[in-house]
Chain A
Amino acid sequence: MWKLREHIKPFLPAALFVMFLVFLEVMATLRLPDLMSEIVDQGIARGNIALIWKTGGLMLAVALGGVFCAILGAFIASRASTGFGRDLRKAVFTKVEDFAPQEFNKFGTASLITRTTNDVQQMQMMFLLSMRMAVRAPLMAIGGVLMVVKKDARLALILLALLPVIALIVGFVILKGIPLFKSLQAKLDRLNLVLREQLMGVRVIRAFDRDLYEQERFGEANLDLTNTTLKVNRIMVTMMPLMSLLTNFVSIAIIWVGSKRIDAGLMQVGDMMAFLQYSMQILWSLMMLSMLFVMLPRASASADRILEVLETTPSIQDPPQPQTIDMGHGVLAFENVTFAYPGADTPVLSNLSFTAKPGEMTAIIGGTGSGKSTVLDLIPRFYDPQSGRITLDGVDIRDLTQTELRSYLGYVPQQAVLFSGTIESNIRGGKQSATDEEVAEAARVAQAIEFIEEREEGYDSYIAQGGTNVSGGQKQRLSIARAVVRQPQVYLLDDTFSALDYKTDAKLRTELAKSAKDSTVIVVAQRVSTILHADQIIVLEDGKVAGRGTHAELLANCEVYKEIVASQYGEEAV
């Protein structure tokens, strides 16, 4: 928790005030038995009924003060903790938005999502608990001890002598419990893993008729989990009876020793009664505290996970003094570019050089290991090359702001991505200021008009999260329309059309070629058929250029290209 002190700071005054209120509330709670003892010792023993009434009224006032503090405390605490959660969540999300894909790969998208959502939620809860419970319990214990000592220091010694025993028991349970809790989590994960595998592989499992085997596998994980849970719980259930037994014995001891002291005239009966109540309060608050300790490791793990995100510096930064190009022509050049993914031994691209010119189509082909998709990822600066440079109209792209650089690009990834909203809002993602005509034109080029108009709501049709309510082909077309609407200087197309049927595919290519006739088009292709007419084809193998030229030239003199053609069309095609 303390690790996030930077983010707690703004809420520190509120938190301190809450703690103060909790303190008052605790004092009020502790004052009640004290007043009660006065009723017994002064009122009952002396038969002073007026005093009983007066003290009763005082008790009522104290209780009222206590509840006022508690409610005010709850008010401030809930505002502070939710506010803390809100700000922390925003900090994490904004930070993650600054991340380059490299950081996404490092953390994993799923993990980043969990960190932004569940982990923050966890911290928020922990903050709330710390403010109220964590402070309350020790205050209660300390206040209780003070009161007890005030009442009768000698008698308090019994309590103090027993405290270490209780601490020992709690400590033992925590020490034994925490590793078991961790292993419990691991067993649970294991069960989930087995189940998830079985759900995903259901066809294969059935195909090999291995249902029984899979049931056994699940059974093993299940048994393991059950046994560990039993172990954990068997320890946990000893705690409550043991603790209540201890507290009860403390009371017995207090009464016994107390009665001796009363007999000797060193103490009064009311004092002893208050004493009993205090000791209960002390012991229960200690137990509360121990429960908090059980939660601590989990919260600490969440804090670590959040910090890890917050302390990561995005690998891609804007230059301190950015240059600009005025609506460039779109000449894109790779100059001796070498790039290796972080942690990889061998570069994906080595010494890659080529120039893509406006009005031309540059195609890149090769297997995935060949690094062709990486070429596209370097252009919007998702990654920076280790050596060499990429220039746009002669300017190193690292000298431009990311915003400017990307405003020239129309990027269409292999996996079409849509956002929840409408068809129109998705197309407009490419250019917020687009007119309705521009949106319609982009839809036309991307061959999306037909299915848009088929829908009752047309451009206002709702798109679900992740675009799950449109087909794969429709997703792709909208994703292309988004690129078209901004009329980019440079198109970056990553084997975009795989989900389309052949006719639509062909039409789209023709229309796109017309629409992009003044732009630089860089296509990463899977199928040779899609790039036959490219002005220049770059054949990549193992990150190196294995050939460049037109289709005919490459067929004549590039072995790797011939291999690719042969693998797609059969030997006779070569």
Chain B
Amino acid sequence: MSTKNENRGPSAGRGHGGFGPRGIGRPVEKAKDFKGSLRRLLGYMRPHQLSLVFVLILTILSTVFNIFSPKIMGQATTVLFEGMLAKMRGVPGASIDFEAVGRILMLLAGLYVISAIFSYLQQLLMVNVSQKTVYTMREDISSKLSKLPLKYYDATTHGEILSRVTNDVDTVSQSLQQSVTQVITSLISIIGVLIMMLTISPVMTLITLGMLPVSAFISIFIARRSQKYFIRQQKILGELNGHVEEILTGHTIVKAYGLEEDAVAQFVRVNDQLYDTGWKAQFVSGTIMPLINFVGNIGYVAIAVVGGIFTSRGMITIGDIQAFIQYSRQFTMPITQMASIANVLQSTVAAAERVFELLDEEEEPEDDHQAVVLTNPRGEIQMQDVSFGYDPAKPVIKNLNLQVQPGQLVAIVGPTGAGKTTLVNLLMRFYDVGEGSITFDGHNIMNLNRGNLRTMFGMVLQDTWLFEGTIKENIAYGRQGASEEEIISAAKAAHADHFIRTLPEGYDTILGEDASSISQGQRQLLTIARAILADPAVLILDEATSSVDTRTERLIQEAMAKLMEGRTSFVIAHRLSTILDADRILVINHGEIVEQGTHGELLAQGGFYAELYNSQFVAELAHEVG
């Protein structure tokens, strides 16, 4: 398929993870409606309310235990130190109180085990919640996609839809899994640690707190500068990737016209720019962590000195210093985390919002409850005063009237372009007419069940659509529950049976994504077999078989002729015989129906068709053949 690669383009560097706190110093996407989208995202998690409550409880408990442990460990150190000091000072009978140390350590071990179990359970639950949430999200998208009108598909690139279903949903899932609990943990840690520090020494706490604005100032100051570089880097990277894509896609032309040097020169120019900005972005953002660490170390030194002085004056115990050092380390972590979580949250909500935008697209109107289902369609089609335009201001069909009796042949003639798709779009209700009406067997198609209406048409177009699966499955796509015999006889009727049998796996051959195992012509035969099996009342055929060798072309023509027998057929005509046999000819130019009538009528009119016919089909031939 021709559009196969369009979503393969390099994404402009999105989603490069890496180490360090996510998001620090990098540009953040902002949601348009942060509150609304966040609320909606939370709505998705509502079914898991109970789990989330458990997560909350478990997180709180495991964090609280974590907060207590340094203090308790410090007690052990204090006991040791005091025992030792006593010995040093030669207090008689002094020794380390091993019983106390043992008791404290046992308590500590217990705390650690419980905390580990809780945090494991908490993460396990969160994995379930987040994965189930995104599962539901994807299912919603899938069901939404089946309800969206063709208009949406025509106006949106595949890459964009794909990126919403994969990248954006992925972002949401990652953040749910990590950030939600991180927010809770960080908040509790900050409060808990602060309390613990205060109980040890208000003065030392003040020192630690004093370091905070310094770190904050450094991160904000540097982050602002590095964001500037990152945004520029992103832009240049996009430019570079675009250039690579363009040059490689147009490779033959580049070679044929000797444009390699230009291409490389431009590449080098952009590549150098990327380097200039890239290393700066990398460097500036890379200084944040060392600087924050340095500030942390200053605090560490200050605590060591102040703590040391305090202890030697007997104001606090040695174990408390040890605990305090651990606390001050624990204190900066959640604060930097909170900063990055804010960014992560922003981009998560932005990603979720893009998914919601898709889910909010206008759907095809639902079928009426009284929608008619035709069981024995005859294939009579009438168009009355039909006008239509993709852009209402630019109608491509104006007041079209057309009567087609069952079994008649309508030829569509004209240069290849958008015209033929328009007709297909209207007949099958991929798009609804602007004005006028189309009736099928006397029923306005607006009143027919949409699915039923569509199955009455069979399409064999030039760009074949086969999916990854066996040949058998692909043919059977035309009719659910078709038997093996029916499939084979359809393949025979389509002259496809022969080549299928020459394949190593026969009917069970799996067509790959690119279906390179079979030729374009063979693909077309398979779609004809599919249409034969579906046995539609009305056919829409494209005679063009441009990429097919002459033999296969003959086979296709024969198969098509067989398919058309006794059916109402709309044929994009490329052959004179089809045109002459047609009951009605629609002449399309520039995507517009410019004339219609029988061959005789149109010739007599002396308009576009007459000119076309004379130039294209007859004059030269008559002249040459003589």
Contact = CB atoms under 8 A, between A and B. Distances in A.
B165 interface: yes
Contact of A569 (B81, B250, B286, B576): B576
B388 interface: no
Contacts of A83: 275, 279
B478 interface: yes
B109 A252 contact: yes
Contacts of B621: 529, 569, 573
Interface stretch (B38-46, B130-138, B335-343): B130-138
B356 interface: no
A215 B251 CA distance: 39
A97 B105 CA distance: 67
A163 interface: no
Nearest to A128: B282
A242 B428 CA distance: 60
Interface stretch (B8-16, B344-352, B433-441): B8-16
A68 to B, nearest CB: 9
B451 A209 contact: yes
A380 B256 contact: yes
Contacts of B120: 237-238, 241-242
A4 interface: no
Contacts of A411: 252-253, 256-257
B158 to A, nearest CB: 5
A382 B252 contact: yes
A323 interface: no
Contacts of B244: 93, 113, 116-117
A402 B261 CA distance: 13
Contacts of B405: none
Interface in B242-283: 242, 244-260, 263-264, 267-268, 271-272, 274-275, 278-280, 282-283
B150 interface: yes
A506 B415 CA distance: 13
A362 B272 CA distance: 47
Interface residues of A, number: 167
B550 A541 contact: yes
B408 interface: no
Interface string B221-251: 0000000000000000100111011111111
Contact of A262 (B80, B135, B247): B80
B615 A506 contact: yes
A204 B459 contact: yes
B425 to A, nearest CB: 9
A381 B83 CA distance: 89
A367 B548 contact: yes
Interface string B542-556: 000011111111100
A47 B578 CA distance: 109
Interface string B133-168: 011001100110110001001000010011001100
Contact of B264 (A93, A242, A482): A93
Interface in B58-90: 69, 73, 76-77, 80-81, 83-85, 88
Given A97-B263, A259-B101, A240 B123 contact: yes
B552 A367 contact: yes
B315 to A, nearest CB: 11
Contacts of A402: 255
A478 B454 CA distance: 40
Contact of B549 (A100, A196, A366, A552): A366
Interface in B262-316: 263-264, 267-268, 271-272, 274-275, 278-280, 282-283, 286-287, 290-291, 293-294, 297-298, 300-302, 304-305, 308-309, 311-312
B554 A380 contact: no
Interface size range on B against A = 35 or more
A201 B477 CA distance: 12
B297 A32 contact: yes
A555 interface: yes
B455 A110 contact: no
Contact of B80 (A70, A99, A259): A259
A376 to B, nearest CB: 10
Contacts of B252: 101, 382, 411, 413, 417
A545 B255 CA distance: 28
A463 B278 CA distance: 28
Question: Which has the most chain A C-beta neighbours within 10 Å: B138, B165, B256?
Answer: B256
A215 B575 contact: no
B459 A419 contact: no
A368 B145 CA distance: 37
A83 B520 CA distance: 45
A52 B18 CA distance: 40
Contact of A45 (B85, B267, B268, B549): B85
A515 interface: no
Nearest to B138: A222
A60 B8 CA distance: 52
A209 B455 contact: yes
Interface stretch (A144-152, A452-460, A494-502): A494-502
A369 B548 contact: yes
A393 B80 CA distance: 99
Contact of B158 (A200, A218, A368, A430): A200
A226 B131 contact: yes
B213 to A, nearest CB: 18
Contacts of A89: 240, 271
A255 B142 contact: no
A71 B550 contact: no
B1 interface: yes
Interface stretch (B110-118, B390-398, B488-496): B110-118
A222 B8 CA distance: 21
A571 B528 CA distance: 23
Contacts of B513: 193
Given A206-B454, A241-B120, A466-B249, A86 B271 contact: yes
Given A40-B308, A255-B77, A256-B105, A196 B158 contact: yes
A242 B119 CA distance: 10
B3 interface: yes
A86 B401 CA distance: 63
B534 interface: yes
B411 to A, nearest CB: 12
Nearest to A472: B417
A532 B8 contact: no
B13 to A, nearest CB: 6
Contacts of B546: 368, 498, 526
Interface in A49-102: 49, 52-53, 55-56, 59-60, 63-64, 66-67, 70-71, 74-75, 77-79, 81-83, 85-86, 89-90, 93-94, 96-101
Interface string A101-119: 1001000011011101110
A47 B318 CA distance: 13
B519 A369 contact: yes
Given A208-B454, A568-B574, A233 B131 contact: yes
A242 B116 contact: yes
Contact of B150 (A203, A268, A366): A203
Interface stretch (A325-333, A441-449, A559-567): A559-567
A121 B16 contact: yes
Given A419-B250, A569-B621, A230 B76 contact: no
A45 B459 contact: no
A152 to B, nearest CB: 14
Contacts of A32: 297, 300-301
A47 B142 contact: no
Interface string B94-117: 011010011001001100110011
Given A93-B264, A252-B105, 16 more contacts: A78-B283, A113-B249, A125-B16, A129-B19, A199-B145, A214-B146, A237-B127, A242-B116, A244-B116, A248-B116, A263-B96, A269-B318, A367-B551, A420-B242, A430-B257, A502-B415
Cβ-closest 8 pairs across A and B: A367-B549, A570-B577, A369-B549, A70-B290, A78-B282, A56-B305, A209-B451, A74-B286
10 contacts: A39-B305, A109-B5, A117-B240, A129-B18, A196-B7, A223-B135, A255-B76, A541-B550, A552-B626, A569-B576
